[in-house]
A and B are shown apart, each in its own frame.
Chain A
Amino acid sequence: MMAKHVIAAIVLGLLLWLPAGCGTKPEPAVEPDVETQVEAADDAETEAGEASAESMAFDDLFHRAQQEETETEPPPPPRVITLKDIHFEFDKFSLTPEARRTLSSHARELGESPSLRIQVEGHCDERGTQEYNLALGQRRAQAVKDYLISSGVQPSRISIISYGEERPLDPRSNEEAWGTNRRAHFKNL
């Protein structure tokens, strides 16, 4: 019983806390320029008989502008971007020149979506041992993270994980498959 009340209280609190959704006239939060807002609202009301659509539009714009300045405004939902895999040489975690070029481009894309967080997965081909490959995959993911950080991406936006040889992309056992599997893969978080 208690729990239900608590949950109801939390939900109510959240509803009051969150600004209303798009399309409706937003409730003004307590703000420094609340007077201006009230004035604008009053203006809208005194002209109630005239071109109400116009004034509503103005109100909407005004309130939206207000919203963009508030700290409680949630960030716009991050774009989902696809960062392509980079590949490694056999038994190595160093970055090839091609990998560096790709990563520089990834860094730029990440710069354009500052709220985006990613996870870098380090993978190996099947030919090593399970234990060392877990460590090597980790080292590969770390090498990618280090490069992205040196290219200006904030460290807190990048997490890393190793899957060793356990998650090959190409299940075949040939050079082509192995090359495909020695990769760092990027996942949106």
Chain B
Amino acid sequence: MNSGFISNSPTRSTLARLTPVRRIAGSARPWVVLVACLVLSAGPSWAQREIYLGIHTTGAQQISLLVDEFTCELDRLSARVLANQASEILRNDLDTSGLVETTSSSVIKDELGLGSLSLADLNPRFDASTQGRLSVEGGDIVIEARLFDVPTQKLVASFRRRIAESAFRSAVHQMADHFLHALTGEMGIAETKIALVRETERGMDICAMDYDGHDLRVLVQNGEMNLLPAWSPLGDEIAYTSYIGGDPGLYVLNLDTGVRKRLATLGELNTSAAWSPDGQKLAFSATRGGDPEVFVMRRDGGGLEQVTVHRAIDCSPTWAPNGHEIAFTSDRAGTPQIYVMASDGTNVRRLTYEGDYNDSPSWCPTGDRIAFTGRIGGRFRICIVPVQGGPVYPLTDGPGSHESPSWAPDGRHIAYVSNEGGKSAIYIINADGTNKRKVSTSPHRLHAPSWSPPLSPRLVAKLSEG
């Protein structure tokens, strides 16, 4: 990938005047270091980069970016359509990040009465600007773009890829993540996917779609009920519950080979699979002639251990990103509430004390918060509680029932289910409650989203092929 990055002071000064807001009191530093490590480990091409420990949050701290129209070499309608799509996808990806606010050049041209814009025209209103171009080479499309710092007019980053048309969206997503990182030092999620369940008359299928709702694909379809997918942190497998054969069991689908394996499971109910952060273990809820308990096993199905021991219902496990703790739901106090325990089952402590129904915890990748489904005023909301305990705050509002939160790997977004539009669909929202948007477009009932980790180019291609 041909991308340049200039790390001299003018660029730094542009961003330095945007002071980072410490959103999470007292714990921002380790979070920022964690993100830096995530970004550093994200790929060899970034290893030489200087990392900006910049923006954590949205609002007034966003970088203002002008996205110029993509030009096309060919004056064909289809090329124009693609060029418009490129701008649209880039803007949507960057806006969704919550760290950047984009404007399209046509708006500014109209305002200023100009046919074209130079970087000088954009100062001081914009911090940065992109320019892009589509051309054709052989049967492939070449997509190129450059990112400029507006005040200094210096090139900050560039991107060039030659791709088949079928890989177009994914190439623009890659560009967006690349530019986001250049601007903020943060990991983007534009190339990630969301696994989910789609309900049709013939059964419930495990599917995956781009995080923006495009390209929904069926991964498991057997005419039966398939539920609660869990995307492995390693990216290559999805665990799920299947009622195939009338016998609810835990299965793992390998995305590389397409092979589905039933894991050694026991008794009757086997559900709510949750991967440990190193991808080596699965926690799940199962019964063996008694009440549902949380169990842990290795990813090959061996090493089964019962972790909770209580005659209450214990279910819905989720791992801490450090692998040492598991949050789960238990009704041992009379109603379903969120609890935390060490991953060996010791040190159980209750986390939620408000409300009479709290379930489906999802531990934030930053380690400090847990999102969950909480019933408030008779309706379900996505809620957040700090891991060390404390007040719960509702993240979502408005009509309908909101359930099943799943964090994006950047720790800044949550996917969830809402039926506010009539039928259950997948929505995403920023972790600070802003920018809620519906992403799924399927006419079917959708539920149980599970956000993928960053995926290797091989897996991205695999999930986009055909």
Q: Which residues of A contact B (CB under 8 A)?
A: 91, 128-132, 134-136, 138-139, 141-142, 159-163, 166
Contacts and interface: CB of A to CB of B under 8 A. Distances in A.
11 contacts: A129-B336, A129-B360, A129-B403, A130-B227, A130-B404, A131-B272, A132-B315, A134-B269, A134-B285, A135-B315, A166-B225
B228 A130 contact: yes
A52 to B, nearest CB: 52
B248 interface: yes
Contacts of B314: 135
Interface residues of B, number: 33
Given A139-B291, A161-B246, A166-B227, A134 B268 contact: no
Given A135-B269, A162-B248, A129 B292 contact: no
B292 A138 contact: yes
A159 B329 CA distance: 26
B418 interface: no
Given A132-B329, A132-B359, A160-B268, A142 B291 contact: yes
A129 B269 contact: no
A163 B404 CA distance: 18
B291 A134 contact: no
A131 B359 contact: yes
B61 to A, nearest CB: 35
A136 B313 CA distance: 7
A142 B315 contact: no
Given A129-B359, A131-B315, A134-B227, 7 more contacts: A130-B403, A130-B404, A132-B313, A132-B315, A132-B316, A134-B272, A163-B225
Interface in B205-246: 225, 227-228, 246
Secondary structure of the B contact surface, majority rule: strand
Nearest to A189: B246
B287 A138 contact: yes
B289 interface: yes
A91 B329 CA distance: 14
B455 to A, nearest CB: 25
Contact of A139 (B225, B227, B313): B313
Contact of B448 (A130, A136, A142, A160): A130
B140 to A, nearest CB: 44
A129 B404 contact: yes
Contacts of B316: 131-132
Given A130-B227, A130-B448, A131-B228, A162 B315 contact: no
Nearest to B379: A127
Contacts of A135: 269, 271, 285, 292, 313-315
A134 B316 CA distance: 10
Interface string B297-341: 000000000000000011110000000000001010001100000
A129 B380 CA distance: 9
B373 A129 contact: yes
Contacts of B227: 130, 134, 166
Contacts of B336: 129, 132
Contacts of A160: 268
B385 to A, nearest CB: 16
Contacts of A131: 228, 271-272, 285, 315-316, 329, 359-360
A149 to B, nearest CB: 10
Contacts of A162: 248, 268-269
A134 B357 contact: no
Nearest to A133: B359
A166 B227 CA distance: 10
B146 to A, nearest CB: 46
Interface in B397-435: 403-404
A142 B287 contact: yes
Nearest to A155: B289
Contacts of A166: 204, 225, 227
Closest 3 CB pairs of A and B: A135-B292, A129-B359, A135-B315
A134 B404 CA distance: 14
Given A131-B360, A142-B287, A161 B373 contact: no
B24 to A, nearest CB: 27
A135 B350 CA distance: 19
Contacts of A128: 357, 359
Contacts of B447: 130
A142 B290 contact: yes
A60 to B, nearest CB: 41
B5 to A, nearest CB: 44
B248 to A, nearest CB: 7
Contacts of A163: 225
Contacts of B373: 129
Contact of B271 (A129, A134, A136, A141): A134
Interface string B100-118: 0000000000000000000
Interface string B238-272: 00000000101000000000000000000011011
A91 B291 CA distance: 15
Nearest to A187: B246
Nearest to A119: B246
A159 to B, nearest CB: 8
Contacts of B291: 139, 142
- Which of A91, A129, A136, A161 has most chain B Cβ within 10 Å? A129
